[in-house]
Structure 1
Amino acid sequence: MMHNVSHLRLFFLSGLNDTVNYRVALFSLTLLCYCFIVLVNVALIVTIILDKNMHEPMYILVCTFCMNGLYGTTGFYPKMLWDLLSPVHVISYSGCLIQALVMYSFAGSDLSFLAVMAYDRYVAICRPLDYHSIMSKQRVLLLVCFSWLIPFCISAIHIILTSRLKLCSPYIDRLYCVNFIILKLACFPAETIVNNIVSYLAIVIYLFNVFFIVWSYMYLLKTCVNSLENRAKFMQTCVPHLTSLLIFAVTILFDIFNMRFGSNRPPTIQNFIAIEFLVIPPIMNPLVYGFKLTKIRSRIMAVLLLRSHFFDDKET
């Protein structure tokens, strides 16, 4: 029987069906992971905001990058924690669409921020004399706004187009809502043609970001080969960006292949791959930047040492 989308009020998430026996352990692990993600990202964000010496383009971009990580994980973890405590795993139709919007815009914004970071490093190393005029605070804020708004608008168009479809099943074989999975529930696949066209256009836009990142770093490597000073700058400031880019690429590609070709894998493996980009990048990115970028590391160490001295003095 076909259900019109106007009559579909709930989706059933089947990703947790095989976790009944160890749900408490999973809840504890998930809560610990989410708390750690919030802690390390907020620590980095607050450090950059409070230290005026870090109100520079590179650190502003790192700050917004971590903010985007909090945005994406907040769209997943609270609902996941609630489901682990609930006997029935359901989500409202509107809630599902909102969650899909958050997931897509989060991933798209991450790629956009990485492209802007690559451009920032290209200007800093290849055109150092023009850096402050090109990467002014106003231009950086404009780039940050576009890096978030464009993926958000693309994702919103996807979701609006999806909301007009008639769906034949309320069952989503995943831990959370994804637009690609919702489209598979459409009663008439022919109705998803417009969605597919928009998807291809979005892929072209995101591929442009990828090519721009590759071009920027190829040019950076070419510039740094014959300069010891530029090599030092590259190792200090570009390696964290390249690490974040590698982590992002691996986790996203695994998830894409899992959605399209992973139906025969065990549910546990599918679930792990599905949440990789919501676990690994939000944890690793602030740690990589915090340990590798000298100003952030020095500031955090200074705060920790100050607190240590404070408690030592209090004890004596």
Structure 2
Amino acid sequence: MDKLTSQFNVTYITLVGHVELLKYRHLYFVIMFIVYTLILLCNFTIICLIMTHRSLREPMYIFIAALLLNSVLFSTVVYPKLLIDFLSDKQVISFSLCALQSLFFYSLEGSEFLLLAVMAFDRYVSICKPLQYPTIMRKTTVSILLILAWLVPACHLLPSFFWVFSLKLCRFTLKGIFCNNAMSRLYCQRPQITYALYGAFIILNTTFMPFLFILFTYTRIVIVLYKSCKEVRMKAVQTCLPHLLVLISFSCLCSYDIIIARLKAGLPTTVHFVMTLQVILYHPLFNPVIYGLKMKEISKHLMKLLRIKTT
């Protein structure tokens, strides 16, 4: 049965995006468990370095720690349930938990874009208005920006979370391995124009506007650096390049997720499975690797830590 009902009349969704699960379940579990462990280890290592070294308690590094924490939260929304499903006979999830997983998934995705926009603003003030930097980027300002980065996407998406419970379900199988915007295919009726416009409003505020703001700040940075000396340019590149690499990586991830959601159900399950894995595999590991290798101060403390461990 697609629709499973318990004594409390809970509606369950069956996830049918797995490929050859009976044959490869243990291999899938081991690979994804290793990846999730590496995500936690790599991200928390950099976060702990930033939190424990006074030289790294600057706004730039605090924003990096927040970005890495967001990557951990983003992964934790997906990986634990995925690991349970690999070892379960039935890959099911209650509709309410499915909606909650989708809410957190896209809320944290929006938070990542806003955090990247905040980091771009920090670099803009540092490079274009260095004398005003201590006044603008105070501890209070940093705290407010971080709170807003996590709060704004959640507040935007919360009404849609409650809205989905007013819709009637006609399908109870989801072609995927976790809950995302493909949930819209489960409902009997197509989304209303009002809801479609609200969805566009959310995407505009949490994705396109931050992206345009980042482009604006980096345009201003490039103009200032063009008039600066070589030493200033090199120092700016060292701090801006990791941010740009992470931005490109995450933009590709978001585009990929949208493409998958827009593809029709006729796409082969194997192709859909492989494409979906790309969304959750690389980026959470990409962030700590980039900042650990490319940020000079973080890299220096990381090397010291590794030398201590090997002695």
TM-score, with structure 1 as normaliser: 0.92
**Distance in 2, Cα, partners of 1:308 & 1:10:** 49
Deviation at 1:164, TM superposition (A): 1.6
Q: Where do 1:108-257 residues align within 5 Å?
A: 108-178=110-180, 180-189=181-190, 192-205=192-205, 206-227=207-228, 228-257=230-259
Q: Structure 1 residues 275-284 or 16-25, which shifts more?
A: 16-25
Q: State whether structure 2 residue 308 is matched by structure 1 residue 289.
A: no
Q: How many residues align?
A: 304
Contact 2:12/2:92, CA 8 A, preserved across alignment = yes
Contact 1:64/1:144, CA 8 A, preserved across alignment = yes
Cα deviation per residue 1:68-111 (whole Å; 9 max; x = unaligned)? 11111101001000000011100012211111111111111111
Identity %: 32
Cα deviation per residue 1:128-182 (whole Å; 9 max; x = unaligned)? 111111111110110010011001111222211112211111111111111x222
**Distance in 2, Cα, partners of 1:301 & 1:101:** 38
Deviation at 1:8, TM superposition (A): 5.3
Contact 1:14/1:175, CA 8 A, preserved across alignment = yes
**Distance in 1, Cα, partners of 2:22 & 2:198:** 39
Q: State whether structure 2 residue 77 is matched by structure 1 residue 78.
A: no
**Distance in 2, Cα, partners of 1:195 & 1:181:** 15
Contact 2:225/2:233, CA 8 A, preserved across alignment = yes
Contact 1:167/1:186, CA 8 A, preserved across alignment = yes
User: Counterpart of 2:170 in 1: which secondary structure?
Assistant: coil
User: Counterpart of 1:265 in 2: which secondary structure?
Assistant: coil
Contact 1:48/1:296, CA 8 A, preserved across alignment = yes
Contact 2:68/2:287, CA 8 A, preserved across alignment = yes
In the alignment, structure 1 segments of 5+ residues that lack a partner are 310-316
Deviation at 1:202, TM superposition (A): 0.8
User: Counterpart of 1:148 in 2: which secondary structure?
Assistant: helix
User: Counterpart of 1:188 in 2: which secondary structure?
Assistant: coil
User: Counterpart of 2:271 in 1: which secondary structure?
Assistant: helix
In the alignment, structure 2 segments of 5+ residues that lack a partner are none
**Distance in 1, Cα, partners of 2:277 & 2:112:** 16
Deviation at 1:251, TM superposition (A): 1.4
**Distance in 1, Cα, partners of 2:91 & 2:253:** 25
Q: Structure 1 residues 15-24 or 134-143, which shifts more?
A: 15-24
TM-score, with structure 2 as normaliser: 0.93
**Distance in 2, Cα, partners of 1:166 & 1:239:** 47
**Distance in 1, Cα, partners of 2:289 & 2:68:** 11
Deviation at 1:275, TM superposition (A): 3.0
